[in-house]
Amino acid sequence: LKADFALIRGSVTDEFGNTLYNEATRNFNPMMATAAEHVIVGACEIVKVGELDPNHVVTSGIFVDAIVGGEKPWQM
């Protein structure tokens, strides 16, 4: 099964799209990021490239096409 678009939510994302998840957002978001043709990440916090520990990155930026940031979860 292949999706055209995936809208996923990450806790912290860098400018390249490398994404970390907290709690329940870790359930299906990483799987959908690899299954969809185009991926848009909504992130609570966007940091500069190199600020995330590569050992904790769950979704690699190679799967991400766009990043949307918001101060509060409902603003994404």
Q: What is the pLDDT of residues 13-25, one digit of tens each?
A: 999 999 999 887 7
What stretch of H or E contains 67? strand 66-69
Rounded CA separation 74/40 (Å) = 16
- Note the pTM of the prediction, 2 decimals: 0.84
- Gyration radius of the chain over CA positions: 11
Write out pLDDT tens, residues 24-74: 778 888 899 999 999 999 998 999 999 999 999 999 999 999 999 877 665
**Residue 67: CB atoms within 10 Å:** 19
Closest CA to 46 of 7, 13, 5: 13
Residue 36: per-residue pLDDT: 93
Q: Look up residue 15 and give its two tokens.
A: 């400018």
Residue 44: per-residue pLDDT: 87
Q: Could you give the maximum distance between any two Cα atoms of the chain, in Å?
A: 34
For the chain, the domains span 3-75
Binned at pLDDT 50, 70 and 90, residue 7 comes out as: very high
